[in-house]
Amino acid sequence: MRSYEKNETAKTQQIFSEILHKHPHDVALYTDASRSSSGVACAVVGNDLKHIYKLNDDTSVFTAELYSIKKAIQIIPTLTVNIRKAVICTDSLSSIVAINQMYSSNPIIQEIQETITKLKDKSVDIIIIWTPSHCDIQGNEEADFAARDGATSCQLVKTFLLANDLKAKYKNQLKQKWNRHWNLQATVLQTFEKTINRTTYTHLRRKDEVLLRRLRIGHTNITHNYLLNRTDQPICEVCNVTVNCGPHHIKGQEIYTRTAQPQHTRQQ
């Protein structure tokens, strides 16, 4: 299903329906998660039920998606009908991939795997199916709306925070602090790098990327050779100021070329 474009909604819906038909089931539950400035929440809908869980604001979407899948699996044994096969539909492909890993250190994934195994021992099969998002698949749309609504309207029901999410929180805080400090610096480097985020040039070889970066920040033989030779800092012949960065040298060369070209033409 991943090979189809999202704008092919009707075809995607048909394929998803065919996949569900290939897996006969007694119940199908849809899960989704939402993270915004309003908060984090996840939801489980289907079989005339709707469960919404508001999580800690620092919870990642990945963790919220996993939590909704875990709750869906835990809900299945509580249903009154005699269930032998259940389908859980999620639009989080990364969650499905993670759950399929044999040895995971993630506690939520471990709970999911353990619960699936216990239900399997009781002759209850759990099948997790990837559902494309934003394709007007009813269950997925209902879960998406419930999760987004839960981030603002529900009371916090779970205060847990995984180590990876906590690490990401403090890493982001340190990065913001570093960035604020960086913005207060009055250096040549700050002129070209407005933030501390790394700028990459994917179309360049590493050798060329290093050359371009050194040229941008002014760490070149032209601008810093005087330090090694213990001589005076070079003066730009065009601007009559010290050459302290590579871009200044390039700009000076452009000015020199533009001023020299007409003279060359007149000589001809």
**Cβ-contact 88, 127 below 8 angstroms:** yes
Q: Would the pLDDT of 212 be above 70? A: yes
Domain range list for the chain: 9-161, 188-242
The pair of structure tokens assigned to 13 is 């819906």
Q: Does 97 score more than 80 pLDDT?
A: yes
Q: Is this model's pTM higher than 0.85 or not?
A: no
Range 47-70 burial, b when 16+ CB lie within 10 A, else e: beeebbbbbbebbbbbbbbbbbbb
Closest by alpha carbon to 29, among 118, 123, 134, 142? Answer: 142
Number of C-beta neighbours around residue 135 at 10 A: 21
Q: Which phi and psi angles does 18 have, rounded to 5°?
A: -65, -40
pLDDT at 268: 45
Q: What is the DSSP letter of 3?
A: T
Q: Which residues is 158 bridged to in the sheet?
A: none
Neighbours of 144 (CB within 10 A): 21
- State residue 28 phi and psi, 5-degree precision: -130, 125
- pLDDT at 228 exceeding the cut of 60: yes
CA atoms of 112 and 69, how far apart (whole Å): 8
Domain at 9-161, CATH from 3.40.50.300, 3.30.420.10, 3.90.470.10, 3.40.50.1220: 3.30.420.10
**Alpha carbons 32 and 105: distance in angstroms, whole number:** 22
For position 267, what pLDDT does the model report?
47
Work out the mean pLDDT of the chain and round it to a whole number. Answer: 82
Greater model confidence, 243 or 180: 180
Q: How far is CA 248 from the centre of its chain?
A: 37
Backbone φ, ψ for residue 32 (5° rounding): -160, 165
Beta bridge partners of 88: 29, 128
Per-residue pLDDT of 135-151, as tens digits, reads 888 889 999 999 999 88
Helix (H/G/I), strand (E/B), else coil: 40: strand
DSSP 8-state secondary structure symbol assigned to residue 233: P
For range 38-63, the mean pLDDT: 93
Indicate the pairing of strand 27-36 with strand 85-90: parallel
pLDDT at 218 exceeding the cut of 80: no
pLDDT band at 62 (very low <50, low <70, confident <90, very high): very high
- Give the Cα separation of 132 and 11 in Å (integer): 12
Coil, helix or strand at residue 86: strand
| pLDDT(256) > 80 | no
Q: Give me the mean pLDDT over the 206-234 stretch.
A: 77
Find the mean pLDDT for residues 148-176.
85
Question: Mean pLDDT, to the nearest integer, of 70-79?
Answer: 93
pLDDT at 191 over 80: no
pLDDT in the model for residue 235: 74
Is 10 a residue whose pLDDT tops 90?
Answer: no
Q: How far apart are CA 28 and CA 33, in angstroms?
A: 17
Q: How confident is the model over 67-81, as a mean pLDDT? A: 91
Nearest CA-CA partner of 128 in 15, 29, 26: 29
Query: Nearest-CA neighbor of 39 among 27, 57, 51?
Result: 57
